[in-house]
Amino acid sequence: MARITLRQLLDHAATCGYAVPAFNINNMEQGIAIMQAAAEVDAPVIIQASRGARSYAGDLMLSHMIDALERTYPDIPLCMHQDHGNDEATCASAIAHGFTSVMMDGSLKADAKTAADYDYNVAITRRVVDLAHWVGASVEGELGVLGSLEHGGGEQEDGHGVEGKVSHDQLLTDPDQAVDFVRATKVDALAIAMGTSHGAYKFSRKPDGDILAMRVVEEIHRRLPNTHLVMHGSSSVPQPLQDMFNQFGGEMPQTWGVPVEEIVRGIKSGVRKVNIDTDCRLAMTAVFRKVAAQSRNEFDPRKFLKPAMDAMRDLCRERFEQFGTAGHAGRIKVVPLSEMARRYRAGELDPRVDARESVAA
């Protein structure tokens, strides 16, 4: 059995210079697709479930599904992570259902729509860190509000993230504040804002530095070289998938995601977790459309789901290879939660934020 914490996995990724894609799941097919891809290339995995996924599948179904995936693939270290936890209760109940890691997204208030102030974010994130570390689970915090620099924040098509306009400053994580935040909260990983947003419609053109501010990642890494950075909204929305979706009756306006080469640039600057949901959705639904269009008499759902699962598996495998995750599963000896808890209590895992934080630019 290989249920691993985010902290142990990202420590390993940092030591070896790779990143781990964190794929969202809502159902069995997505879970199997990720594990098949991981097994093919010997990659450790992060599977994450949003609050929406937990209410869609139900906690009981989800937690037993993860147990089954873990038992089916005992050689693949599997981190189960709560995506965008909005309060202490969401995070605590995730841990109670076997999640080894939680995101406390205190950049937004509990409604997950209103931008929160810094003090609120620090206080709630620190409370979640305290409760999670008691049992050895890891915590990802977020500083800065995810949203489009082109649109000034809001206008996220899938209802995720801040509602309405926010200031340009709020959309880019402040490096000085990041140092303070990590020290004050003791998070294991830090999600930062640099112009990405959730969903398919991230950029209206191939992004350059004006709308995808990778320099912010590099600056934060310079100040916090020991902190694991997380990129949200990191689907690439590949053109071939857009084309396939539209070829078979879809109506997706032309859009651009985060180019893989920009993510690889981030990995050289401390990015260790890369969140991808939209690409997996698109890979599957483009295939649904194709099957529906080409086999108009088909009514067996497996004839839709099996090729869709294969498409998602191929996408996941490609990301494992591109991010350098491939080949590392067998090199990790999983540390149990109880030992992680002991290490936190002993102060052995406290963030090291004093190294280069004050080096002048």
Report the catalytic residues: 83
Report strand pairing: 189-192 vs 228-231. parallel
Residue 52 binds which one of ligand G3H, Zn ion, ligand 13P, none, with CB within 5 to 8 A depending on kind? ligand G3H
| Interaction of residue 84 with ligand G3H, rule CB under 6 A | yes
Task: Identify the CA nearest to 141 among candidates 130, 155, 154, 153.
Answer: 130
**Number of neighbours of residue 330 by Cβ within 10 angstroms:** 12
Residue 218 CB, nearest approach to ligand 13P (Å) = 20
Select from 270, 262, 228 the least CA-distant residue to 9. Answer: 228
Q: Are the CB atoms for 163 and 114 separated by under 8 Å? A: yes
Work out whether 198 is an interface residue with ligand G3H (CB under 6 A): yes
Per-residue binder mask for ligand G3H (CB under 6 A), 130-169, x = binder: ------------------------------x---------
> Is position 83 an interface residue for ligand 13P (rule: CB under 6 A)?
yes
Please identify which residue in 221, 232, 272, 319 interacts with ligand 13P, judged by CB under 6 A: 232
Q: What is the rounded distance in angstroms from the CA atom of residue 272 to the CA atom of residue 263?
A: 10
Of the candidate residues 278, 285, 322, 325, the single one contacting ligand 13P (CB under 6 A):
278
Q: Which of residues 214-253 bind Zn ion (CB under 5 A)?
A: 232
User: Who's near 264: CB < 8 A, 6+ residues apart?
Assistant: 322, 323
272 binds ligand 13P (CB under 6 A): no
Q: How far apart (Å, rounded) are the C-alpha atoms in residues 45 and 279?
A: 17
The nearer residue to ligand G3H, 8 or 63, going by C-beta atoms, is 63
Read off the amino acid at residue 110: A
User: Is 232 flagged in the annotation as binding?
Assistant: yes
Place of tokens 């102060």: 347
Is 279 marked as a binding-site residue?
no
What is the torsional sign of CA 350, 353, 93, 28? negative
Distance of alpha carbon 3 from the chain centroid: 17
| Total residues in contact with Zn ion, by rule CB under 5 A | 2
Residue 30 vs 125, nearer CB to ligand G3H = 30
The residue within the footprint of ligand G3H, chosen from 29, 277, 279, 357 (CB under 6 A), is: 277
User: Residue 276 touches which of ligand 13P, Zn ion, ligand G3H, none (CB < 5 to 8 A by kind)?
Assistant: ligand 13P
Alpha helices in the chain (DSSP H): 6-16, 28-41, 51-57, 59-72, 88-96, 118-134, 175-185, 214-223, 239-247, 260-267, 278-294, 301-322, 337-345
Query: Per CB under 6 A, does 233 bind ligand 13P?
Result: yes
Q: In angstroms, rounded to a whole number, what is the distance separating the alpha carbons of residues 201 and 257?
A: 7
Site pattern 179..208 for ligand 13P (x: CB under 6 A): -------------------xx---------
Q: Does 24 bind ligand G3H (CB under 6 A)?
A: yes
Ligand-binding site membership of 233 (annotated): yes
Measured from the CB atom, is 52 or 259 closer to ligand G3H?
A: 52
| From ligand 13P, Zn ion, ligand G3H, none, interface partner of 82 (C-beta below 5 to 8 A by class) | none
In order of 16, 125, 141, 194, 247, the CA distances from 109 in angstroms are: 36, 12, 13, 20, 40
> Could you give the residue ranges of the DSSP H alpha helices within 162-274?
175-185, 214-223, 239-247, 260-267
Q: 234 is in the binding site of which of ligand G3H, ligand 13P, Zn ion, none (Cβ under 5 to 8 A by kind)?
A: ligand 13P
Annotated binding site: 84, 105, 142, 198-199, 232-235, 275-278
Q: What residues line the site for ligand 13P (CB under 6 A)?
A: 24, 83-84, 198-199, 232-235, 275-279
Annotated binding site for Zn(2+): 84, 105, 142, 198, 232
Q: What residues line the site for Zn ion (CB under 5 A)?
A: 232, 275
